[in-house]
């Protein structure tokens, strides 16, 4: 089962459109961007669909907007990982920031994992909408009560506001919208650059992989050591140390054999 997947695995070459289609079709959602899955609720429900009854859906908040609420969802997900003995580190601090690349890679891993369970065949009787309605009911009701009270207080406070305050507020809002639009544009450019950089390095790694797989080179110690790094799964220890140890042992064995000859 694909609990640990190396960075050169085909899972990490799945595009965002394919991932969004997979999520939307399976869970009957309408996500248009990978970042919309940053709250962790989608990941929880994907595992709920893969292992019916394992995820406590009443603890999952699909309306999570703040980092605090998102972290609660990831705590639920981590508990499920522990229960299923899934050895996958969740970079919660990065995911809740809504960074496209971090969320893309995590969803790529999740798709590969779900596809590895029962051949990716899901329970036809699973009703994603019904299960989603059970998510975070208590939290949502408490939150709505707080919001209602807050709105009442604000309305009372602003009851005496005059036209002048409204004009100032409108001007400030326009400036804020303009600033946010510029920030979004800058972020999109940054994302595009990051994706191009990622694709550039992936292409180079792929070339190295093909080179190491050629019949004349694939059994050479250096080629074997490089493949150990390329195919290393997510782990706490660096694959570099293992590759260096392999090279060292192979070279020592070669020198010993040469001395005997």
CA dihedral sign of residues 43, 101, 235, 96: negative
Angle between helices 67-84 and 41-50 (to 10 degrees): 20
Q: What does the pLDDT look like over 137-163, one tens digit per residue?
A: 444 444 444 444 544 555 555 545 555
Chain mean position to CA 70:
13
Nearest to 191 by CA among 104, 107, 99, 108: 99
Q: Which residue has the tokens 């190396």?
A: 6
Retrieve residue 44's tokens: 């929880």
Residue 119 backbone zone (phi > 0: left; psi -120 to 50: alpha; other: beta): left
- Rounded CA separation 46/26 (Å): 8
Retrieve residue 161's tokens: 């506001």
User: What does the pLDDT profile of the chain (261 residues) look like in tens digits?
Assistant: 555 555 556 667 788 999 999 999 999 999 999 999 999 999 999 999 999 889 999 999 999 999 999 999 999 999 999 999 999 999 999 999 998 999 999 999 999 999 888 777 777 788 999 998 865 544 444 444 444 454 455 555 554 555 555 555 566 788 888 788 888 887 877 777 787 777 778 778 888 888 888 888 888 988 888 888 887 765 545 778 888 888 888 888 877 776 666
Alpha-carbon dihedral of residues 37, 38, 41, 47, nearest 10 degrees? Answer: 80
Which distant-in-sequence residues (6+ apart) come within 8 Å of 183 by Cβ?
Answer: none
From residue 227, give the alpha-carbon distance in Å to each of 122, 160, 208, 247: 34, 71, 9, 12
- This prediction has a pTM of 0.53
Retrieve residue 172's tokens: 């400030």
């Amino acid at each position: 089962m694909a609990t640990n997947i190396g960075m050169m695995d085909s899972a990490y070459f799945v595009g965002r459109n394919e991932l969004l289609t997979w999520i939307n079709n399976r869970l009957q959602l309408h996500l248009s961007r990978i970042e919309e899955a940053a709250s962790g609720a989608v990941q929880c429900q994907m595992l709920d669909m893969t292992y019916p009854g394992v995820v406590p859906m009443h603890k999952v908040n699909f309306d999570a907007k703040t980092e605090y609420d998102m972290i609660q969802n990831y705590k639920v997900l981590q508990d499920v990982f522990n229960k299923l003995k899934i050895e996958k580190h969740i970079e919660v601090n990065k995911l809740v920031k809504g960074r496209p690349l971090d969320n893309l890679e995590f969803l790529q891993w999740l798709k590969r994992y779900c596809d590895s369970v029962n051949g990716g065949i899901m329970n036809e009787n699973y009703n994603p909408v019904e299960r989603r309605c059970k998510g975070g009911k208590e939290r949502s009701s408490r939150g709505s009560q707080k919001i209602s009270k807050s709105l009442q207080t604000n309305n009372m406070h602003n009851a005496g506001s005059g036209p002048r305050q409204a004009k100032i507020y409108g001007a400030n809002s326009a400036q804020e919208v303009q600033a946010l639009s510029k920030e979004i544009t800058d972020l999109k450019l940054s994302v595009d650059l990051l994706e191009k950089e990622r694709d550039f390095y992936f292409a180079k790694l792929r070339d190295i992989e093909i080179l190491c797989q050629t019949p004349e080179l694939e059994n050479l110690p250096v080629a074997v050591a490089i493949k150990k790094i390329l195919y290393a799964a997510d782990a706490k220890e660096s694959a570099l140390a293992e590759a260096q140890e392999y090279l060292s042992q192979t070279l020592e064995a070669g020198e010993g054999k040469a001395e005997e000859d």
